[in-house]
Structure 1
Amino acid sequence: MPVNTSKRLYTQVASDCIHEPVQVNTVVVIHPGSLNLRFGRASDTFPVTIPNCIARKKKDGKIPGQSDKIAPWMLRKEREHHGARKQKEQGLRSANEALEVKPMDSGEYRPPSSVKQLHSNNIRVRGVRTDVLSPFKWSNTDKSPPFIIGDEVLYTRPDAGYSFHWPMRHGRLNIHEGPGGTLSAVMADLEQLWGTALETFLDIPVKDLKYYKALLLISDVYTHIHVREMMDVLLNKLGFGAAMVHQESVCGAFGAGVPSGCIVDVGDQKTSVCCIEDGISHKNTRLTMEVGGSDISRMFLDLLNTLGFNPAIDLRLYSDALSVQEMKERLCHLDHNRYGYLEESIQIKKPGENIVKYLIQIGDELVIAPLSVFFPDMLALQGDSLTRIQRRNEGDPADPHDDFYLKQVQTKQDTASKLSKKKDNQESTRDPDMGLDESGLNVLQDDDSNDMPDTMTMTDTSKSRRGEEEEMDEDSNLEEVAPPLMGIDHAILYSIDKCESDEIKKKMYSCIVVVGGGLNFESTQPWLQYCVWKNMPGYFRPLLETMDVITRPKEMDPQIVCWKGASILACLDTTQELWIKQKEWDQFGVRMLRERAPFVW
């Protein structure tokens, strides 16, 4: 088989991998998220967190950028459709009904708040400008640096002559049609961003990276070519001595300290669900949805606007978008027992200006906003790419043993076997004294097929080739289609249902781990447990002794659980044989990922 041939190809390479003592301080763990980039040495207690963005100085001020003011994670084209309003209203009705039918711990039902009453109160509220200056300041760009990274990116003036590039969006590379949206341009941004961040925050010169190893976290549902390009940046462009890739869900399980379970990663712009068993990610259970914490932030601001609260907030500005995110994280919750009209003080902090305070009343909106990931119709999103599942390898010219090659070889072997059996059958029924087939087809011994019309000269080889192509087309047509956008509880049920046996499903239902910062609210655990329990198949409930939903693994910030798990994995003795050295990458390229990746490539 080709796989065995490939493995023999690397026998010598594998034999050269000598197990050396693990030097934790020379291993760098990089976790590129849609909003934040987390990185640090595996020996560090906490990672360094900066915006995953780079601002580049424009060579010509007239060149249009993707948009110098827009926070791309807040304004979405998927909301621009005729049925958006109706879809949002339907989602809000479903969320309010869910609040009404779920009894509180006291046994009573939660009384709803009145939007009209809140609106009549808040419409009269005016902001009070305080004497306190905002702690945020516009970044100093007087020296016109060629690029800016770190927190300074978020407070770069829109008119400073910089274009902003976010290499990741919705959990994958931000490939788009605008300027800087090609694959090569995005990889150039990653190279510049990662290299400068390591020098600035970890004090590691790029020229010394040859003495370091890099572990890169990738999404559960990944694109093969994108992973190849990021590995090339690490090993060839930045010059790391060795590198490895690992999936976020597996690292999340290690960080949470659970060997098996359903891992739910809610980030800023995507939510991924995957079932992990003994450190292995089940391919069929992977599901990624393009909704996350930023959608909750936008939903919270929309709900405040319906209550008559309309502060001077422009979501196209990075600073304002982050203010809404901070407001959401401080006020929103999923505690079903808290209700009524709450008076809250909201502060609007703009760079270079005094803080403005608003004293408003809020009701159920504090709970309804987080429920938007349970009832995604509230977000009014429509599109074909809102959900993704793991597809087969797209094919790579640099990898001769990709899925297409293996499929072709297998098909040819099957065809050759069929032809051999057919030939044996023909020889067993052929008259030895004649060169004619007894079936009456009069197959000539001499090759005179050139005298026949083209339509009559289809040989067995061409037939087999056509059959091979038809079989591959049929196989691609049978490939599973990604499901429509669904609530996070139904996404968990979908993922677990893809497990092979009831025993594995029972194991997944008994341990659900939520990581990432997108759903980091008070009382998320009981609400998620209630929703999953209510909708799960009834015959599983008696089989479960307990359903453990973990939202703060080891009392750790859920935003860094995956990074922490990756730093643990990088130091295990069993992981050392998975490193891909720079010289191996130069010699074999992407084929090394097929041999060394800790998941089926």
Structure 2
Amino acid sequence: MVGKKSGRAQLREEGLARTDNNLDLTTWPQVNMINQKNYYTEFLKRDEQYLAVRYPQEEERARMVREARDKDRALAQGVSTETTAEEGADEAGMSYSRDDPSRLVVLHVGSQNLRIGLGTDALPKSIPMVIARRWQENESEENDGEPSPKRMKIDGAVPADALPEKWFGDDFADQYMAMSSELRTRMRSNKRRVLPNSKDLVTNFNRRTPPEVISEHNDVNRIEWTELPRDPKKAPEYVTGHEALRIPEKSNPRYKLFWPIRNGTFNERDYTNRNQLYHDISKIFEEAFRTQLGITKLKELANYKCVFIIPDLYERVYVTMMLDILIRDLGLGKVCLQQESLSATFGAGYGIACVVDIGAQKTSICCVDEGLCIEDSRVNLKMGGADVTETFIKMMLYGHFPYSDMNLKRRYDFLLAEELKQKFCSMDEGSVTVQTWDFHLRASGQDTRKYTFKTYDETMLSAMGLFKPSIFDHSRKLEGRRKVVPRSVDLYDGSPNDPISQAQITVLDTAGGKSASVNGTQEPGGTPAVQSTPQRAQPFNLLSRLNENENTPRSSVAGSPAPEGTGTPNPDRDTPMGDADQPLVFRDPVLEKTKLADERDKIVPVMPLDQAVLESVTQGARGDDRKLRDFLGGIMLIGGGSKTPGLGAFLETRLRELRPYYGKEILVGPPPREFDPQVVIWKGGSVFGRLSPAGNDSWISKTEYDILGSRLLNNKCMFAW
């Protein structure tokens, strides 16, 4: 008799028993069950549970309680309560209003100048963003005294009999002659008179005109140089601002100039230590507060608010480092961050505009609509007025400029070159004639020399380099990049997280010789474009998801590793589909994003100004023809480089040639109300800082920053951080 079998034995014999081999049943991401115990909790579901939101509310509530208490005390003592409601007291006992614009500081940092002022100032104070430190040799003595612009050398030295036409190489000469020929052709088509021997007239005059020597006591406009103590041991360790540029070249001890900001970001070419860069910026700010605003004690800054203006296409390390300097090093009470283009629209009073900011070493373009910078329209070009200055001097030396020893590394030559550019450069074709000019060369310890010279087309062709940037020298703009200040990376996966825009990707692809991205969604290699800036969430559409046959959710940063060389049309699946004999190569998304960022860091982002404006406007409009016309009709030129006469009209003409269908809509103009284009951004920061604090929740207080640090920026910035 066969014994009775158990149920477990029957399942095992019939093959119905459940076996677990620890293999996943599917490669699809598993969604865990909801923890029912915490499902009904309210943890982090209300804004008040975030410190960044709760602290300003508590501060406002405490202020109201304090004002009510002060009012009751004043009524009990029979004192008028008209002035006590909105007043506080600083450490010295001086009363001040919490909305007092005299307690507001506005800072706009540029590569060449720092603009600083109080909220009550009509215009800011502009000081050079430079610091002079005691050094073994000054900047003009480094590298065996090699001048700038750099002359071509043979066997390590410039030949004594070399003509100025050969100083800068054949490439520069060919481009210069091509631009000159193109300008003559353009002028003839516009019915302007062109003399055939204008170049020879200029060269012959400059070659045979000696300078006139003027003794120092006869020079009415002589320069007051920075005086140093006779004892070198008593000389200061550093000097900032205008005084730094007026230190004599042969001073004892020697001083070297350091510019902490280059091309709109940190100067990693001249610095080898991050702490030194940090302290130099801090000292420049501290001296500016003391000399320009009259704030002699850093303790007083705890009662001040500061609006700090950052680039549109910023770097995260730049923002966090500047914020750390302002709050922790200088001790400002509150700081607010605002982007340059948005600040420019505040200053000009525009609601929608395409802002073109031409600075000394950086040109930024951005479309602003409804109080926000459109992320994909941001463009950052590493060229500006300093490139125009250098090219202008090279063209002048090419035409036998009488002061052939011009060296932009010397302080007085640098100031002279800036003065010559501002006086003589113009984009007006009517000014392209043989003209005679003069200037005075003033150097410490030397007699003043008066030079007379002639110019022809150098005054226009140097500024035209903004539309043909290949004439500029880009050889040292990326030198030392990422060597001192590392790139910002994501806290969780370590991938680069600096913001990037589709317009900037197109600029980099064009500068690198690649084809532009297709419809703003793909890179030249066919891979999806990496978006480091958080984009607006798209509405969920199940049908579109099924039609697109996506196998990895968009919210996944890393995604699934994909085999290469297989026959599957979807590169994001990690299941082998195709030939089993072919080896599987899995991709690391973080490594790919890092390599892509490294490749972009090796490319100097330069593009003709007119093409960059059109690219920014196209990306900003996003296919909306009405918005495209609004941007083209509201192009605003600002920055020091925009003060070149005729630049706006020339840019407008170039844009109409590129987009003839929008000829009537295209309008390029300066800021309204006769504003100085250099201070529009600062003025907008001042207007923004004086808005009611009750409606502005972007202020970062020192207490909050001490607790949360830069994590506050996710809740405090008006832009996607």
Q: Same fold (TM over 0.5)?
A: yes
Please point out which of 508, 528, 532 is paired with 2:655: 532
Equivalent in the alignment of 1:246: 338
Identity %: 25
Structure 2 match to 1:9:
50
Q: Distance in 2 between matches of 1:252 and 1:113?
A: 45
1:470 aligns with 2:547: no
Q: 1:539: Cα distance to partner?
A: 4.1
CA distance in 1 between counterparts of 2:256 and 2:706 reads 34
Decide which of 144, 151, 169 is 2:262's aligned counterpart.
Answer: 169
Using the TM superposition, give the Cα deviation of residue 105 of structure 1 relative to its aligned residue in structure 2, in angstroms.
Answer: 10
Cα root mean square deviation, aligned: 3.8
Does the 8 Å CA contact 2:365/2:377 hold for their aligned counterparts? yes
Please state how far the C-alpha of 1:568 moved relative to its aligned partner. Answer: 0.9
Following TM superposition, by how much is the alpha carbon of 1:379 offset from its aligned partner in structure 2, in angstroms?
Answer: 1.7
Deviation at 1:150?
Answer: 2.2
Give the letter aligned to residue 685 of structure 2. A
| Equivalent residue, structure 1, for 2:700 | 580
Matched, 1:116 2:200: yes
CA drift of 1:535 comes to 1.7
Residue matched to 2:246 = 155
Residue 340 of structure 1 corresponds to which residue in structure 2?
Answer: 433
1:130 is the counterpart of 2:214: yes
Task: State whether residues 90 and 377 of structure 1, in contact with CA within 8 Å, keep that contact through their aligned partners in structure 2.
Answer: no
Relative to 1, partners in 2 of residues 1:288 and 1:101: Cα closer, same or farther, differing over 3 Å? same
Residue in structure 1 matched with residue 573 of structure 2 by the alignment: none
376, 380, 400: which is aligned to 1:288?
A: 380
Measured after TM superposition, the shift of residue 478 of structure 1 is 7.6
Going from structure 1 to structure 2, the CA distance change for 1:5 and 1:286 (only over 3 Å counts) comes to farther
Is 1:34 the counterpart of 2:111? The answer is yes
Residue aligning to 1:591: 711
**How far apart, CA to CA, are the structure 2 residues paired with 1:494 and 1:483?**
17
Task: Check if 1:550 corresponds to 2:642.
Answer: no
| Residue deviations 1:396-429 (CA, integer Å, cap 9, x gap) | 65999996999999428988xxxxxxxxxxxxxx
Larger Rg: 2
Q: Is the 8 A contact 1:524 1:551 kept in 2?
A: no
Taking the aligned partners of 2:427 and 2:381, their CA distance within structure 1 comes to 21
Shift of 1:242: 0.4
Secondary structure at the counterpart of residue 16 of structure 1: helix
Does the residue aligned with 1:44 lie in a helix, a strand or coil? coil
Q: The residue matched to 1:39 in structure 2 has which SS?
A: strand
> Partner residue of 1:497?
618
| Counterpart selection for 1:55 from 108, 132, 149 | 132
Q: 2:307 aligns with which of 212, 215, 218?
A: 215
- Matches of 1:170 and 1:154, distance apart in 2: 20
Secondary structure in 1 matching 2:643: coil
Distance 1:521 1:406, change over 3 A: closer
* Equivalent AA in structure 2 for residue 585 of structure 1: Y
Structure 2 counterparts to residues 311-460 of structure 1, below 5 A = 311=403, 312-382=405-475, 385=478, 394-395=488-489, 397=491, 410-411=555-556
In structure 1, how many angstroms separate the alpha carbons of the residues matched to 2:331 and 2:226? 31
In structure 2, distance between residues paired with 1:78 and 1:208: 50
What is the Cα deviation at residue 109 of structure 1? 6.3
Distance 2:680 2:248 in 1: 34
- Secondary structure, counterpart of 2:209 in structure 1: coil
Does the CA-based 8 Å contact 1:263-1:273 persist in structure 2?
Answer: yes
What amino acid sits opposite 1:187 in the alignment?
Answer: Y
- The CA distance in 1 between the partners of 2:310 and 2:670, in whole Å, is 21
Give 1:197's aligned residue: 288
> Is it true that 1:100 corresponds to 2:100 in the alignment?
no
Which structure exhibits the higher relative contact order, with contacts defined as CA atoms closer than 8 Å and separated by 6 or more residues? 1
Distance in 2, Cα, partners of 1:221 & 1:583: 28
- Pairwise CA distance, 1:98: 4.3
CA contact (8 A) 2:642 2:677 kept: no
Q: Relative to 1, partners in 2 of residues 1:354 and 1:557: Cα closer, same or farther, differing over 3 Å? A: farther
Q: CA separation of 1:91/1:570 partners in 2, compared to 1, >3 Å: closer, same or farther?
A: farther
C-alpha distance in structure 2 between counterparts of 1:243 and 1:338, whole Å: 46
1:125: Cα distance to partner?
Answer: 0.4
Cα distance, 1:169–1:476 mapped onto 2, change above 3 Å:
closer
User: How many residues are paired up?
Assistant: 532
Is this contact kept in 1: 2:309–2:340, CA < 8 A?
A: yes
> Structure 2 vs 1, CA of residues 316 and 69 (structure 1 numbering), >3 Å: closer, same or farther?
farther
Cα 1:534–1:231 change in 2 (3 A) is same
Which letter does structure 2 place at the counterpart of 1:16? E
Task: Write the distance in 2 (CA, Å) between the matches of 1:340 and 1:406.
Answer: 52
User: Could you list the per-position Cα deviations for residues 115-159 of structure 1 after superposition, in whole angstroms to 9, with x for gaps in the alignment?
Assistant: 223211220000011243352233111141222112110011334
Distance (whole Å) between structure 2 residues aligned to residue 112 and residue 29 of structure 1: 53
The residue identity in structure 2 corresponding to 1:328 is K
Question: CA contact under 8 A between 1:78 and 1:383: conserved in structure 2?
Answer: no
| Alignment counterpart, residue 690 of structure 2, candidates 557, 563, 571 | 571
| Aligned twin of 1:46 | 123
- 8 A contact 2:634–2:667 mirrored in 1: yes
Offset of residue 183 of structure 1 = 2.3
Q: C-alpha distance in 1, partners of 2:323/2:388?
A: 33
Cα distance in structure 2, aligned partners of 1:265 and 1:412: 34
Asked whether the 8 Å contact 1:101–1:109 carries over to 2, the reply is no
Relative to structure 1, the CA distance from residue 531 to residue 109 in structure 2 (aligned partners, 3 Å threshold; closer, same or farther) is farther
Structure 1 residues 484-528: Cα deviation after superposition (integer angstroms, max 9, x where no partner): 522211221222222212333222111111111123122222111
**Other structure's SS at 1:577 match:** coil
**Alignment check: 8 A CA contact 1:55 1:163 kept:** yes
- SS of equivalent to 1:222: coil
Alpha-carbon separation, structure 1, partners of 2:210 and 2:558: 77
Aligned partners of 1:217 and 1:566 also within 8 Å: yes
- Shift in Å, 1:591: 1.1
Give SS of 1:359's match: strand
Do the aligned partners of 2:209 and 2:402 also contact (CA within 8 Å) in 1? no
- Alpha-carbon distance change, 380 to 49 in structure 1, aligned in 2, over 3 angstroms: closer
Q: Is the 8 A contact 1:111 1:339 kept in 2?
A: no
Give distance in 1, aligned partners of 2:99 and 2:434: 56
Aligned to 2:720: 600
Q: Give the whole-Å Cα distance in 1 for the aligned partners of 2:45 and 2:444.
A: 61
Change (3 A) 1:151 1:401: same
Q: Residue 157 of structure 2 corresponds to which residue in structure 1?
A: none
Q: Distance in 2 between matches of 1:398 and 1:573?
A: 37
CA contact under 8 A between 1:36 and 1:51: conserved in structure 2? Answer: yes
Task: In structure 2, give the amino acid aligned to 1:375.
Answer: K
Give, in angstroms, the shift of residue 228 of structure 1.
Answer: 0.5
* 1:507–1:412 distance in 2 versus 1, CA, 3 Å: closer
Map residues 60-75 of structure 1 onto 2, 5 A cutoff. 61=136, 75=148
Quick check: 1:144 aligned with 2:235? Answer: yes
Q: CA deviation at 1:47?
A: 0.9
How far the C-alpha of 1:96 sits from its partner, in A, is 2.6
SS of the aligned residue for 2:427 comes to coil
Q: TM (normalized to structure 1)?
A: 0.79
Q: Equivalences for 1:203-282 in 2 at 5 Å?
A: 203-204=294-295, 205-282=297-374
Superposition deviation, residue 95 in structure 1? 2.9
